[in-house]
Chains A and B, each alone.
Chain A
Amino acid sequence: MNPAPLVAVVGNPNAGKSALFNALTGARQKVGNYPGVTVERKSGRTALTDGRPVELVDLPGAYGLDPSSPDEAVTRDVLTGRFAGERKPDGLLIVLDASNLDNHLRFALQLLGLGLPTVVALNMIDMARRDGLEVSAERLSAELGVPVIETIAVRRKGMDELRAGLQQQLVGARAVARAVPDNVAREARRIAAASIVNEAPVRRWSHRLDRFLLHPVAGPLILAAIMFVMFQAVFAWSEAPIGWIESGMAALADTVTRLLPAGALRSLLVDGVIGGVGSVVVFLPQILILFLFILLLEGTGYMVRAAFLMDRLMSRAGLSGRAFIPLLSSFACAVPGIMATRTIDNEKDRLTTILVAPLMTCSARLPVYTLIIAAFIPHRDILPGVNLQGAVMFGLYLAGIFGALGAALLLRKTVARGASSFFMMELPKYQLPAFGDIALGLWQRAVIFLKRAGGIIMLTTVALWALASFPAAGPGQKQSEVSIAGKIASGIEVVVKPIGFNHDIALALLPSMAAREVAVSAIATVYAIDQADEAQAGQTLVQRLGGSWPLPTALAFLAWFVFAPQCISTIAVTRRETNGWKWPLFMVGYLFGLAYVAAGATYWTAVALGL
């Protein structure tokens, strides 16, 4: 049986291509990567008018067949049948923004030169009308020699007509290659002018909005307000669902504990699997809320404006304005931050952003910071209204930010050297994104997170569980010392002793690789195990710590956590996004190096000051 014909959905960035693809294929899409490059491949199915299936592939947006980014190179190679691992399309669905024909027709003319059966979607026809433009699909069709169908993809309008057009072109009709004109840009402008029936001089909507949103004073204030709301939402809205997940996991663990006899299997299921899955899933609410905001900012067209406002500042660190949102998102969690770097089109900019994203103080560090600060930093005012504990917390955030900026500058001069950062972007028209498109994007990202990060975290947690549980301690022995993990911790202790770390910390470093905040429970476990007499057991962790760690050690521990790449999901996501082990390994190496130096410097400075 012949496979279903493959139709490539292709067009300029901001032509509404993805919305059109969603409208045609629905929610059942396959999302993956093109082999060898970190360019997302999306495919799905739709049916022709006679019911026969067609496979649609959503090619990366491009301005032409002469690529200026890796995404555009994929588009060109797939279309010309040169991309290994993707068959050559049997037909094209070209998506044009009706209000930007001058520009989008240039690419369309190049595409028509390929000689494939083609249908043109004259998309966002409503936005063109809003801008006072009246475009004639018939005239455009006569000029191009292929069917042209008016669509409004975000409102799912014109889809049946598109299917009918594809039916007509794919079955029976013979495609004729149209010669590509010598001066494509000029020919595109001529056809655009010929297809526009009427143009009323109206002041454009987007321009009016930009007067406020890009205003030199109001613009940054509005951006700050949006970011403030975003972070409030990430932390406030996620509280309840995190509570549900935690109690759900606890209930599940209880049930398993009751059903199974004590032993290795029960311990594996309860401590390893349920604990491991729980430590991943508990981040899902925050990640989804963050992604909801990112998708909304992207879908409305505001994201590019934020980049516009921040570009100049970011360029001082050798980054582009595009890096702003990914880095900001990394304050909640580096995983969605790194996943959001796909919008950065300069490869070196993107790599640098990925490499410094883990330096932003993510929410998983907060429990560690909170515990150590509460145990060691006195609660007193250093200035009226400024508490020392709060100041230390703020200092830790600043250390992360300046660390990231410094690292970015250095990386841009060394491993990520290349063309200076690049900022050339289209400012798309503002629009209201379709609810379905946002929901679908959110769903796809949740699946990616759970599959990639979750899979690795679970494996690691199970491995860590095994290390901590075997060999089992005999009578009179401590599990934390007999186990393989205990032995490894003793090995780590040798390395970290010069920077002031003790055996407790060495033991906590290992499980905290799964997720940073696990360090807190790991330290708690160590003290729980070592609790000999009942009287001491009543002490809180804060009191125990304050009594047993010297202050320089505690400060060094904080400095370590500012830099250390202690999160397997970040490493896993970096591997996925850089398409190999080279950069995640580099990242781990340089961050551990930084952490070691920072912790050591902190420790010895504190000791020298007699703290």
Chain B
Amino acid sequence: MTAISPASAFALPLDELRLGRRARIQLVDWTALEESEACRLRHFGFDEGVMVEPLHSGPVGRDPLAVRVGRMTVAIRRTHARAVRVVPAA
């Protein structure tokens, strides 16, 4: 956890990634989530190394987010997206 890989310098929380920008999940901070939330995110396929892309955001406060993860699209709230750290694809 303490060792910082070179890539993490460019890592950012998923909710700060621009819509339409693809990125690879560097890590998911499972401890920041409640157990049922973490479980559902894992079920959706959130995992290190998986590609994600925020596609749409809600009309009020740009919340929630529609995120493409692997081959499916899921809706999550921004607060939960914050727990996912991603590195934008070149």
Contact = CB atoms under 8 A, between A and B. Distances in A.
B64 interface: yes
Contacts of A214: 56, 66
Contacts of B77: 311, 315, 423-424
A219 interface: yes
A315 B77 CA distance: 10
B11 interface: no
Instruction: Select the residue from A106, A220, A419, A424 with max chain B CB neighbours within 10 A.
Output: A424
Contacts of B74: 424-427
Interface string A262-286: 0000000000000000000000000
A313 B63 CA distance: 10
Interface in B34-79: 34, 36-37, 39-45, 47, 55-64, 66, 70-77
A109 interface: no
A552 interface: no
B64 A308 contact: yes
Given A68-B36, A185-B47, A210-B66, A220 B59 contact: yes
Contacts of A424: 37, 40-41, 44, 74-77, 80
Nearest to A345: B40
B18 to A, nearest CB: 15
A206 interface: yes
Interface of B: 34, 36-37, 39-45, 47, 55-64, 66, 70-77, 80
A247 interface: no
Contact of B71 (A100, A217, A219): A100
Contacts of A312: 58-61, 63-64
A66 B39 contact: yes
A373 B67 CA distance: 49
A308 B71 contact: no
Instruction: Select the residue from B36, B44, B62, B72 with max chain A CB neighbours within 10 A.
Output: B72
A68 B38 CA distance: 9
Interface of A: 63-64, 66, 68-69, 99-103, 106, 185-186, 189, 206-207, 210-211, 214-217, 219-220, 304, 307-309, 311-313, 315, 321, 419, 422-427
A427 B42 CA distance: 16
A210 B56 contact: yes
A102 B59 CA distance: 30
A99 B36 contact: no
Contacts of B44: 63, 103, 424, 426
B70 A103 contact: yes
B58 A308 contact: yes
Contacts of B75: 304, 307-308, 311, 423-427
A603 to B, nearest CB: 38
Nearest to A66: B39
A422 B66 contact: no
B32 to A, nearest CB: 14
A206 B70 contact: no
Nearest to A107: B43
B64 A423 contact: yes
Given A424-B37, A424-B80, A185 B45 contact: yes
B72 A426 contact: yes
Contacts of A189: 70
Q: Secondary structure of the B side of the interface?
A: mixed
Contacts of B58: 216, 308-309, 311-312
A210 B71 contact: no
Contacts of B43: 63-64, 68
Contact of A423 (B47, B73, B76): B76
Contacts of B61: 312
15 contacts: A66-B39, A68-B39, A102-B45, A103-B71, A106-B45, A210-B66, A216-B62, A308-B56, A308-B66, A309-B58, A311-B75, A312-B59, A422-B37, A426-B72, A427-B74
B45 A103 contact: yes
B37 A217 contact: no
B60 A206 contact: no
Nearest to A423: B77
A163 B42 CA distance: 33
Contacts of A64: 43
Contacts of B36: 68-69, 419, 422
Contact of A427 (B34, B59, B66): B66
A600 B49 CA distance: 62
Given A63-B43, A216-B58, 18 more contacts: A63-B40, A68-B39, A102-B45, A207-B73, A211-B56, A217-B59, A220-B59, A308-B66, A311-B64, A311-B77, A312-B60, A419-B34, A419-B36, A422-B36, A423-B75, A424-B41, A424-B80, A426-B74
Nearest to A427: B73
A196 to B, nearest CB: 10
B72 A100 contact: yes
Nearest to A304: B75
A99 B64 contact: no
Contacts of A308: 56, 58, 64, 66, 75
Instruction: Select the residue from B36, B58, B62 with max chain A CB neighbours within 10 A.
Output: B58
B65 to A, nearest CB: 9
A206 B39 contact: no
B33 to A, nearest CB: 10
Nearest to A63: B43
Nearest to B43: A63
Contacts of A68: 36, 39-40, 43
Instruction: Select the residue from A68, A215, A313, A315 with max chain B CB neighbours within 10 A.
Output: A68
Contacts of A423: 64, 75-77
Contacts of B62: 216
Contacts of B47: 185-186
A12 to B, nearest CB: 9
Nearest to B66: A427
A427 B55 CA distance: 11
A74 B84 CA distance: 30
A210 B57 CA distance: 11
A171 to B, nearest CB: 34
Instruction: Select the residue from B36, B43, B60 with max chain A CB neighbours within 10 A.
Output: B43
Give me the 10 closest cross-chain CB pairs, A-B, nearest first: A63-B43, A312-B60, A68-B39, A214-B56, A427-B73, A216-B59, A102-B70, A424-B40, A425-B75, A312-B63
Contacts of A66: 39
